[in-house]
Amino acid sequence: MQYFLTEEGEKYLQIGLPEKRLIEYLEKNGNVEIEVAEREIEDLNIALLWAKKKGFVEIKFNRIVLIKKPENFPEEEALKKIKEGREKEISDELIKILLQRNLIEKAKYEHLEELKGKEIPVLNSELIKSGFWREVKIKKYSIDIPPAEIYPGKIHPYTKVIKEVKEFLISLGFKEAKGPLVELNFWNCDALFMPSDHPAREIHDIFFVSGEGKIKEKEIWKNVKETHESKWGYWDEKLAKKLILRSHCTAISARELSKSKNLPIKIFAIDKVFRPDTIDAKHFIEFEQCEGIVADENLSFKHLLGYLKEIAKIFGSKEVKFKPSYFPFTEPSVEMYVKIEKLGWVEAGGAGIFREEVTHPLGVKVPVLAWGLGLGRLAMLKMNIDDIRYLYSDDLKWLRER
Amino acid sequence: MPVITFNKKDLFNLIGRELKDEEIEEIVNSFKSNIEEITEEEIKVELTADRIDMFTIEGFARVLKGLIGIKMNEVKIHDSKITVFKEDVPVRPFIACAIVKNVKMSDLLIKSLMNSQEILHETIGRGRKKVAIGLHDFDKIKGKIFYKGVSRNEKFVPLGEKEEMSLIDVLAKTEKGKKYGKLIIEANKWPAFIDEEGIFSFPPILNSERTKITENTKNIFIDVTGTDKNLVNKVLNILVLSFSERGYKIEGVKIKGKKEEYTPEWIEKPLEIEKSYFAKILGREFKENEIENLLKKMGYKTLFKKDKIIVITPPYRTDIISKIDIVEDLAIAFGYNNFEPELPNIFTVGGIHPIEKISDEIREALVGFGFQEIVRPALTNSEKQFKKMLLEEKETIKIENPVSESYTQLRVWLLPDLMEFLSKNTKEPYPQKIFEIGDVVLPEKNEETLSKNVRKVALAIASSGSFFAEVKRIALEIAKKLNIEISFEDYNHPSFINGRCGKIIHNKKEIGFFGEINPEVLENFKVYIPVAALEMELNPNPRE
């Protein structure tokens, strides 16, 4: 006949029998009230039951009184022996008490007898508990058979790249901003000093949606109108009210500048933008952009280059090169190139200082450094892919194997 | 950004010396432009939209000359004593003209002139609307020149035709007429240049066959017309610069309308800039002679007056709006890579947007439940969003100019994309557990953009057996992460099996649903295994 410890038995073997813990407590602290003991001693009811039965304690006026200190606790020693497989050293009487206290269980292993000497395919908990594993042969596995696939849940590789970029920017002190996917032409273009007839505002470059938006910021609307009329000589108000799908995250920067009045401002956005295009390995009609702005007194072009040099590190590049560029809303404008192993110099993003024609109508009177990263390219580099469609991949096998 | 091809030989001729390919590349790359390709005979350059003066080979050469340090030619305007009598033409009110003398015509020059015209028309000219250019053999023009509005029945022989045509026929029958006719068709009177023999130019559509430029042309009459006075003058200046760079004599023309004007309007505009402004913007001190030399490279003349600098801007620069544009030119001439980048000492606390923070938490929780994240486009189509999901079509944000039938509107829910994903992967081993976190856009009349972004999560388990309980359990887990109380209610949603769908309620409002997908939907997506799914909002309590 074999026995093994129940969960409770295992527990008491570790922390001590309840009555033992009670008596040790009383020895140390003197007699105590039941309420106090309840707080201090786990399983107090069980402890009291057995300590009273064995005549170690009595209850007097709601206090637990130690009347006799036992020499030893045979049950605890028995538990230890059973655990070690030395149950033959324990008296039947003690076994009976342990069974009664539900600290041990009988193992019923008769059915295992027929396995004796045989080869078994799988080891199970019964075999281990019973020790019967010693009587069987465990079948040998062939080590060369390829295992079945396991598919753990995973975060999309593109999400990971985006998160990495975010964490980097946050470490530089940038705060994340958001904006609507359906945007007013006003915030996407006009507030950025793009003339009403700018070629990038035509249907080849912007998705239009039906309806006219509402302008809440009347003051800014008026300022932008005046700027366009004085600098470009005209302004198409109806076009400014037109709703579109946001075509760049600079729209978010413009909105943010119009509301944040406390300097310094350091904001970034990573979000979706939409542009009509052919759909192929290099182009898709929606993609993520990463843009940031820094606004404060006394900022200058060298600071812009300073930020770009820092941001280049996201690409894993220590070297950075700058090149003049053109954006309607920044002056000076710059393009950043980073050095990527194997590829050489790669265009990484554009930047500039917002023109006063952009900042003044928004009520901002300090220099605003603005930069944007080619997030798709960065992701493709980090994910080691050359087809942009993998960023939105519908291929589960590919995702599982990443 | 336009990409323009220049003939190398012609370019070197204009610059005055030959350049090695590497040399060209270095100079061009220090500027806004980009070399696309250099071959034996040509260079292909991508130019920026602001520097239209570089769209002609002569203008491009002039910029290169400056950057290399070769002295730029002065442009001189002589008087032609010619007058153009201008009448009121409301549809195209502004004109500017000039005459170029003693031109040595060649195939190369004709080709290059056509290229310049074409690119100016399409870019700054906005498809000839704002500005259109006509070049004519001046010696074929007879007598007095008039610009006036004429009837659509007037006739002339348009360029490339043999017979006389009425203007209305030109619009109806010629290629250019069909393309640009819309610019004038609604006007009463159509614009025309006329001499003794009749119409010789019909802007912005066609020139006449009679005055066309040939290899024998010696003298050229330029007409620039348009709807933006400033640009009309600037574009003429760009052309004038081009001919002048080739060493030809330029003569001005009197335009006599209600007022008397003289074109080309070759005026070098002075711009006053405080000396300290350069350092303020660029973060580096520049000495007077440095400023003078750098700006000279970029084609400016400078005068120093105490703490001010008077910068004379060339008449062909259309992009100079204010003094900041001069500062950029100085920085370009100095070389962007010669600045010392520096991080400013400003302290700010960074942070992730709350909706992204909660999205990240949910992502991690779902990955823990064994789900694979997918990322799908926000653009979709009605078939997928509604029909295949057995729903009545709902109001969505639709694109007015879609480029593909698959992407015509913004999604209002995520689950159809998960179904589509499952349908694309039926050969992959099951169970398949996928999720997506993304924005949907719902129409919302009270918002300024008549819509609002809603961040949602959707997940699906495709597997034999029933996963109704598991999906419900995950809804509770998501609610725990969002720190909200939710309850469930029976839901009759057509995409789900009747009796196996629940609505997720928070604050008495529906924030999501879950259940087992209707087999008819499974059939529509050709997914032949049971699917349990859930979709839920992640910002049920949006923070203002």
Reported as a single tens digit per residue, the pLDDT across A375-399 is: 888 888 888 888 888 889 899 999 9
The token pair at B384 is 């997928």
In this structure, are residues A197 and A272 in contact, taking their beta carbons and an 8 Å threshold? no
pLDDT in tens, chain B (544 residues): 789 999 999 999 999 999 999 999 999 988 999 999 999 999 999 999 889 999 999 999 999 999 998 988 889 999 999 999 999 999 999 999 999 999 998 888 898 899 999 999 988 888 999 999 999 999 999 999 999 999 999 999 999 999 999 999 999 999 999 999 999 999 999 999 999 999 999 999 999 999 999 999 999 999 999 999 989 999 999 999 999 999 999 999 999 999 999 999 999 889 999 999 999 999 999 999 999 999 999 999 999 998 899 999 999 998 999 999 999 999 999 999 999 999 999 999 999 999 999 999 999 999 999 999 999 999 999 999 999 999 999 999 999 999 999 999 999 999 999 999 999 999 999 999 999 999 999 999 999 999 999 999 999 999 998 899 999 999 999 999 999 999 999 999 999 999 999 999 999 999 999 999 999 999 999 999 999 999 999 986 654 3
Question: Smallest Cβ distance to B352: which of A166, A216, A322?
Answer: A166
Best probe of the A interface among B26, B131, B346, by most A CBs < 10 A, is B346
Residues of A in contact with B425 (CB under 8 A): 394-397
B201 - beta bridge partners? B193, B207
- What are the φ and ψ backbone dihedral angles of B379, each rounded to 5 degrees? -85, 140
Average pLDDT over residues A60-74: 87
Distance from CA of B46 to the nearest CA of A (A): 11
Say how far residue A381 (Cα) sits from the centre of its chain: 22
Position A275: which residue type? R
Contact B281 A353 (CB under 8 A): yes
CB–CB contact B450 A182 (8 Å): yes
pLDDT (tens digit per residue) in A7-50? 888 889 888 899 899 998 888 888 888 888 888 888 888 888 88
Q: Is A35 helix (H, G, I), strand (E, B) or coil?
A: helix
Q: What is the pLDDT of residues A164-173, one digit of tens each?
A: 999 999 999 9
B202-227: b (≥16 Cβ within 10 Å) or e: bbbbbbbbbbbbeeebebbbbbbbbb
B278 CA to chain A: closest CA distance, Å? 10
Q: Say if the Cβ atoms of A300 and B283 lie within 8 Å.
A: yes
| Integer-rounded Cα radius of gyration of chain A | 38
Report whether A13 contacts A79 (CB < 8 A): yes
Triad B338, B343, B348: Cα angle to 5°: 160
A249 interfaces chain B, CB cutoff of 8 Å: no
A324 vs B32: CB contact, 8 Å cut-off? yes
pTM of this structure: 0.82
Residue A219 to chain B, least CA–CA distance (Å): 16
End-to-end CA distance of chain A: 53
Q: Where are the alpha helices (DSSP H) in B321-447?
A: 323-334, 354-368, 382, 415-424
Query: Token pair for residue B264?
Result: 């080309």
Residues 262-291, chain B: which have Cβ within 8 Å of A? 280-284
The rounded distance, in Å, linking the Cα atoms of B274 and B156 is 56
| Dist. CA B316–CA A136, nearest whole Å | 97
pLDDT category at A369 given cuts 50, 70, 90 is: very high
Residue B374: its chain A contacts at CB < 8 A? Answer: 156, 393-394, 399
Q: CB-based contact (8 Å) between B395 and chain A? A: no
> Would you tell me which residues 113-142 of chain B have a C-beta closer than 8 angstroms to some C-beta of chain A?
123, 126, 129-130
Which chain A residues in 282-341 lie under 8 Å from chain B, judged by CB atoms? Answer: 284-286, 294, 296, 298-303, 305-310, 320-326, 328, 331-334
A334 near A308, Cβ under 8 Å?
Answer: yes
Show the tokens assigned to A382.
């980090």
3-state secondary structure of B302: strand
Mutation pick from A160, A227, A300, A311 vs chain B, by most beta carbons of B within 10 Å, is A300
- Say yes or no to pLDDT of A130 above 80: no
Report B:480-499 residues touching A (Cβ under 8 A): none
Residue B425 at interface with chain A, using a CB cutoff of 8 Å: yes
> For residue A395, which residues of chain B lie inside 8 Å, CB to CB?
424-425
Residues of A with CB below 8 A from B228's CB? Answer: 233
Please provide the average confidence, as pLDDT, over all residues in chain A: 90
Helix/strand/coil (H/E/C) assignment for every residue in B234-279:
HHHHHHHHHHHHCCCEEEEEEEECCCEEEECCCCCEEEEEEHHHHH
**Residues paired with residue B30 on neighbouring β-strands, in sequence order:** none
What whole-number distance in Å separates Cα of residue A172 and Cα of residue A373?
15
Neighbours of A385 (CB within 10 A): 18
pLDDT surpasses 50 at A265: yes
Confidence of residue A83 (pLDDT cuts 50, 70, 90): confident
Separation of alpha carbons B204 and B226, rounded Å: 8
With an 8 Å Cβ cutoff, are B372 and A213 in contact? no
pLDDT in tens, B308-317: 999 999 999 9
Optimal mutation site among A202, A394, A397, interface B, most CBs of chain B within 10 A: A394
Interface test with B, best of A231, A285, A355 (most B CBs within 10 A): A285
Residues 334-373 on A with a CB inside 8 Å of B are: 334, 353, 355-357, 367
- Distance, in Å, from the CA atom of A96 to the CA atom of A11, rounded to the nearest integer, reads 19
Peptide bond into A74 cis (omega under 30): no
| Confidence grade of residue A266 (pLDDT, cut at 50, 70, 90) | very high
The nearest CA of chain B is from the CA of A283 a distance in Å of 13
pLDDT at B541: 64
C-alpha gyration radius of chain B: 33
Distance from CA of B402 to the nearest CA of A (A): 7
Q: Do A172 and B350 touch (CB under 8 A)?
A: yes
Number of CB pairs, chain A paired with chain B, less than 8 A apart: 253
The Cα–Cα gap between A107 and A4 comes to: 7
User: CA-CA distance, A33 to A52, in Å (whole number)?
Assistant: 15
Please indicate whether, in this complex, the C-beta atoms of A394 and B424 are within 8 angstroms of each other. Answer: yes
Beta-carbon contacts of A397 under 8 Å, excluding residues fewer than 6 positions away, are B425, B428
Q: Is B277 exposed, middle or buried (0-12, 13-18, 19+ CB in 10 A)?
A: middle
Q: Is B234 exposed, middle or buried (0-12, 13-18, 19+ CB in 10 A)?
A: buried
Q: Do A305 and B342 touch (CB under 8 A)?
A: yes
Mean pLDDT, chain B, integer: 94
- Angle at which helix B229-245 crosses helix B57-68, to 10 degrees, equals 70
Which tokens go with A148?
A: 């079945």
B206-265 residues touching A, CB cutoff 8 A: 228, 230
Query: What is the pLDDT averaged over residues A62-71?
Result: 87
| B130 and B228 Cβ atoms separated by less than 8 Å | yes
Could you say which of A296, A303, A322 has the minimum Cβ distance to residue B343? A303
Chosen for mutation from B298, B317, B356, B448 (greatest number of chain A CBs closer than 10 Å) is B448
Contact B344 A279 (CB under 8 A): no
Q: Cα separation of B211 and B225, whole Å?
A: 17
Contact A305 B339 (CB under 8 A): yes
Which member of B346, B367, B378 has the closest CB to residue A154? Answer: B367
Residues 147-186 of A with CB under 8 A from B: 149, 151-156, 158-159, 163, 166, 169-178, 180-184
Find the angle CA(A193)-CA(A194)-CA(A196) to the nearest 5 degrees. Answer: 120
Q: Do A182 and B402 touch (CB under 8 A)?
A: no
* Model confidence band, residue A1 (pLDDT cutoffs 50, 70, 90): low
- Enter the tokens of residue B174: 């010629």
CA distance A120 to chain B (A): 30
Q: Do A391 and B375 touch (CB under 8 A)?
A: yes
Residues B380 and B408: their CA atoms lie apart, in Å, by 6
The pLDDT value recorded for residue B543 is 43
pLDDT at B544: 35
Chain B environment of A333 (Cβ under 8 Å): 32, 328
Contacts of B383 (CB under 8 A, 6+ apart): none
